[in-house]
Amino acid sequence: MRRLLLILVCAFVLCPGPATEPASAAPVVSIRARTDVQLRTVRRREDGLISITGTILERASAQGIGGLDVTVTLEGVRHDTITQQDGTFAVLGSPSPGAVDVEIAFAGDERFDPVTFAERDVDPSRAPVDMTIDVTTNPLGALVTVETRADGVRVELPISLRFSAADAADPHVDVPARSGSPTSVKRADILGPGAKRVRARFAGDAAHGPASAETTFELATGTRVDLTLAAESVAFEGTIRGTGTVLDDDGKPVARAAVALVANLAAGGERRLGATTTDGNGRYRIDASADLVGTGKHSLQAVVETSERWRRSSRSGPAFVTVGVRRPAPVGITIAAFAATALVALGFVIGRRRPWHKAEAPPPSAAQIEVRGGLEPARASIVSTLRRAHDHGFAGLVRDAVRNRPIAGAELLLTLGAVVRRAESAGDGRFAIEELAIGEWSVRVAAPGHVSEQFTLTVPHRGELRGARIDLVPVREKIFTLYRRAALPILPSPDLWGIWSPRQIVDHVRSRSAPLRMTELTEFVEEAYFSGRTPDEGLLPAAEAKVAAALAERAGAGL
């Protein structure tokens, strides 16, 4: 018996247990940036060899990419080369009479998508034209100068200028011009203010080959806002209603502009009463409780708050409203208040003796949550609100609005008329600016990869600008938030926006065979959100335009 027990113990120790399969690794998702090819010149040299030059660019940033293996095929003969630091490349091909066929290919790698380009029947005997564009903006529009050179010599050629939004080819406006001579265009004649793209093109002639060049620029505009109050006198318990319209410098309505209603305080500074955005016709309406300003006559203004670099904020003229005195509460209300207090106390006692689970309200839908940036003043104490405004400093923290992490190196630009003060956040995101002059300062806060914020400060203050917080929204998150308006109707349920990852959302939209504009928008978002390069806020106008195009396409299709 003892020997049998020993055999069983040894078998249990020495025999291996059931084999366990190793846990499968999580799938690896590879996100690669898209690329473009620019063919610059195809020229036959004096020795008969054909010189071919070009550039490989990242599509989102239009910056050259160095160190890429490129294949250039000339009349079926392959030539391998590597791009320089600025993305340019050059090869020499064998002599070939007449027109030639050129093909350029990049096979792709772990960072960038592959790309191919082909040009047929290129005449290398015609002189290649190097074209550059210079754009100088002015209050009414822009001055565009195109320079063309052939074999290093300046030549004047007939060209065509095509203006469009920075992110889309249509709608567009064509303007005839001539290289070497400045061409003046008005903002209203080239599709209004905003981020623009101009493409210059020369069709070619008997001595010169075709050429093109393009660049982007911004046409700035101011805003004008008016304010009309529904009534000049309002009861203390009533509502102040302000309405008006926001127009740009060309007199056209500004849609989706942020407008705030503020009250100018007698002791200095102002109080924000409410905010909204304009409709498609530039109109707005803001309702605010009269008790926010208190009894007496008050001066109110509407303030346009802009986040676009090319659109300037503005204020309306003052409008005045008189708020009546607070009416005493009837005796019945006082008695009811005592009764309610007694019932609450009784309920508290009962609850202590026999607790129950209170039904919780459902959390807000994740599809309705939007991260916002801006200035968050410090909470003033009761004592500080009773003191005279005397503080002339501005200090606080610049923070990422999504990850709640401090942002180092954020630039703060404060202007008061001709006076300019600058500061930069430290490694922990904190900043401090002292001895600010009395007045209303305009502030712009910017950091790489984040949407800049603009707001105003009134100096002196009562301490609410000590320990203030400035939240900046990452450009990636802003673009994906804009994308939500177009992608949300395609999801099986709106609540999945807060459950699915961005990659799952993009893949689902792509799998649904979306229309052309929605497909273009999804590719743009994928490029900006998942690219290894930090996106610049200059992409936001393009994102807004693509979202609008996708929504218009969906509405036109009756989806």
Phi, psi angles (nearest 5°) of residue 66 = -90, 160
Domains and CATH numbers, the chain: 35-122 (2.60.40.10), 129-219 (2.60.40), 223-323 (2.60.40.10), 374-473 (2.60.40.10), 476-556 (no CATH)
The pLDDT assigned to 365 comes to: 45
The pLDDT assigned to 526 comes to: 81
Phi, psi angles (nearest 5°) of residue 122 = -85, 130
Tokens 């008329």 belong to which residue?
417
The pLDDT assigned to 329 comes to: 59
Residue-by-residue pLDDT tens, the chain, 559 positions: 445 444 444 444 444 444 444 444 444 445 678 888 888 788 888 888 888 898 998 876 778 899 999 999 988 889 999 999 999 999 998 877 778 889 999 998 888 889 998 888 788 888 888 899 999 999 889 999 999 998 778 999 999 999 998 877 889 999 999 999 999 999 989 988 988 889 999 988 888 888 888 888 889 988 999 999 999 999 988 999 999 999 999 999 998 888 999 998 877 778 888 888 899 899 999 999 988 888 999 999 999 988 777 888 899 999 999 999 887 756 566 677 667 777 766 665 565 555 544 444 444 444 445 678 888 887 755 545 556 678 899 999 999 998 889 999 999 999 998 899 999 999 999 999 999 998 889 999 999 999 999 999 998 888 888 889 999 999 988 988 888 888 888 888 887 777 888 888 888 887 776 678 888 888 888 888 877 778 888 888 888 888 888 888 877 766 5
Contact 219, 139 (CB under 8 A): no
Strand partners for 531? none
Question: What SS3 string covers 467-506?
Answer: EEEEEECEHHHHHHHHHHHHHHHHCCCHHHHHCCCHHHHH
Strand partners for 284? 244
Contact 338, 357 (CB under 8 A): no
Contact 68, 112 (CB under 8 A): yes
Chain mean position to CA 128? 38
- Angstrom distances, CA of residue 255 to CA of 315, 407, 425: 17, 31, 34
- Angstrom distances, CA of residue 192 to CA of 118, 249, 549: 35, 10, 17
State pTM to two decimals. 0.45
Fill in the amino acid letter for 216. T
Residue 168 falls in which region: left (phi positive, over 0), alpha (psi -120 to 50) or beta: beta
The pLDDT assigned to 47 comes to: 84
Tokens 């400035």 belong to which residue?
470
